[in-house]
Structure 1
Amino acid sequence: MRKWKIALGFILFSFSLQAQQDFSSDRPGQTFSAAVLPKWGLQAQQGLEWRDFYDRQGEDQIVVNQRILSSNTAIRLGLGHQIEVGLAYQMNGINNPTFDDGYRWEGQDPNLMLRFGLPGNGTSFQWAFIVQSSFSNLDYRLSAALNQGPWSVSGNLGFYHDEFIDYTAQWTVLLAYSKEYYSVFAEVYGLSLNSANRDYLAFDAGFSFKLSPRFQWELFAGNQVGVGPAVGLFSNYFVNTGFSWRIR
């Protein structure tokens, strides 16, 4: 046990020695960051999520009709001149508890990400244009962030398209309070103008804690309520944990 503590301390100390500047992550929450990595900056982001879909079958009976475990991995690389590329991959394990306890694992197509910092970026205000695509879908959004001391407000506004959905408008608004080693946040996000007639409104909140200037651990939870043509009214709750690591 002592050897593990020494090894962990050495790793975190090494991260601290290598740190050159603070970093901004797309985690925690649903809002993508407006900050673009510097030239040859490399960052990894990893999330693990537990999500339960609930169905009310009576006045007092609420049943979990579906459970999803998911892993989302993203690698980001700064190219300089306010340009960044990245690659994201998600794996989902789907379980229907009312039928069995097994999980059906499905991997999604990798997403290529491009992030462009827009003119006027500074310390207190940043904005960027973000595009993601796996060649079967297209997600593009405008991300902006306003920072005033320990407080910050950020958000995304954009559209999503794939082979099943002609278009859907998506938005997020996040309020955060940050100090040197930790940050807490609350966020609201949702869909609107949806060609598939599937809309939702969701809330989440959580915190992040910096174990070193280059390594951050995150934990957040939320609730999503909405309506869809296949499932009618639905509600789901989720818990998400993971990390962001500025490799260089």
Structure 2
Amino acid sequence: MSNKFLNRSTFVWLFVFAFSGIIQAQYNETIRTGRPGQSINPFTTGKGILQFQQGYVYDQEKADIDPNTLSFDRDGIAKNSTFENVIRYGIAENIEINAAVDYKWENWRYYSNLPNESTQSNYLSTFDFGARMHLVDQNKGVPDIAVQARLGMGQYFQNGEFEVKDVKITGAFAWQLTERNGLTVNIIPIIDIAGFESSKINYTLAYSYAITDKLGVFIENYGTIFLESDVNNGSYEDFRTYFDGGFSYLISNNVQLDILGGYGYNRPLVGTPIESYFVSAGISWRILTAK
């Protein structure tokens, strides 16, 4: 399966590189960033632009025993802190290389059947690297379109292992509805390579509104569709979804601040419902490294 996927991916990348010269310039007067929220926009940084997107996330997950089901999951409350980093660099006007590096502090406290037990850990939860290419400019009903591909090596660091875990292919679509309104959609197939998790598709749907030239607001729904949900094979979920929203503020053309909050309530096929709350604050900034 992985060889067939890689062969198809190679063909797609050759195709998009062949048409890369017809795309308009990607450099924008003001910074365009993937923060706040989970969606990425279909634009690249522009040639010679080095951009950083950094933030802190605090999330809390609570899992309660459901008396009507047989639980295979731990029950308790997890309080996590994550330092997020995305680094982007434009190697051509419509092509960038990028990486995501997240470090996580996790504190899980059990209760009910294990009232006195708790665990703590910290590890590099995400280490992805790849590239993004802007393919199509918006024209009438056709949105701006980009594709991004990344190799993921996160989470193995927790066990002292280092190997490619999955491949993430993001299709990013954006419609500028009016001068101040925008809609962004991401479709993200995630192909498991290591064989420890089922393949899945992430999605995002975000609406943004520019209150002023500096202040913006957004709301978003995002989630995961699990492609191999089968209790008999140890996969206990088929769908997971969350909602978030927040604000961004442009300090200058090259610096933006953001804040958001979100909520999710998800019930696996077997086990305990999981209720999630999270807040995040961050900064995006860029520098011109070459003319």
Q: What is the TM-score when the length of structure 2 is the normalising length?
A: 0.71
Check conservation: 2:64, 2:274, Cα contact below 8 A. no
Mapped to 1, the partners of 2:38 and 2:126 lie a distance apart of 20
Mapped to 2, the partners of 1:194 and 1:106 lie a distance apart of 27
Aligned to 2:171: 142
Check conservation: 1:190, 1:202, Cα contact below 8 A. yes
Structure 1 range deviating more: 94-103 or 159-168: 94-103
What amino acid does structure 1 have at the position aligned with 2:60? Answer: D
Check conservation: 1:184, 1:207, Cα contact below 8 A. yes
Q: What runs of 5+ residues in structure 2 fail to find an aligned partner?
A: 1-26, 67-74, 111-115, 153-163, 229-234
The answer to whether residue 132 in structure 2 is matched with residue 120 in structure 1 is no
1:237 pairs with one of 273, 277, 290: 277
2:187 pairs with one of 153, 157, 161: 157
Q: CA deviation at 1:231?
A: 4.8
* CA pair 64-212 structure 1, distance change in 2 beyond 3 A: farther
The answer to whether residue 234 in structure 2 is matched with residue 217 in structure 1 is no
1:28 pairs with one of 32, 36, 44: 36
Aligned to 1:90: 102
Aligned to 2:148: 130
Q: What RMSD over aligned residues (CA atoms) do the two structures have, in Å?
A: 2.6
Q: What is the TM-score when the length of structure 1 is the normalising length?
A: 0.82
Structure 1 range deviating more: 115-124 or 49-58: 115-124
The answer to whether residue 75 in structure 2 is matched with residue 42 in structure 1 is no
* CA pair 77-228 structure 1, distance change in 2 beyond 3 A: same
Aligned length: 227
SS of corresponding position for 1:38: coil
Q: CA deviation at 1:224?
A: 1.7
2:201 pairs with one of 146, 161, 169: 169
Q: What runs of 5+ residues in structure 1 fail to find an aligned partner?
A: 1-18
Mapped to 1, the partners of 2:44 and 2:139 lie a distance apart of 12
SS of corresponding position for 2:37: coil
Check conservation: 2:131, 2:148, Cα contact below 8 A. yes
What amino acid does structure 1 have at the position aligned with 2:167? Answer: L
* CA pair 72-43 structure 1, distance change in 2 beyond 3 A: same
Q: CA deviation at 1:232?
A: 3.1
Mapped to 2, the partners of 1:228 and 1:188 lie a distance apart of 19
Check conservation: 2:262, 2:278, Cα contact below 8 A. yes
What amino acid does structure 2 have at the position aligned with 1:144? Answer: F
Mapped to 2, the partners of 1:192 and 1:57 lie a distance apart of 23
Aligned-pair identity in percent equals: 21
1:165-204 to structure 2, matched below 5 A, reads 165-178=197-210, 179-195=212-228, 196-198=235-237, 199-204=239-244
Q: CA deviation at 1:104?
A: 1.5
1:206 pairs with one of 246, 261, 269: 246
What amino acid does structure 1 have at the position aligned with 2:279? Answer: V
Check conservation: 2:77, 2:109, Cα contact below 8 A. yes
SS of corresponding position for 2:122: strand
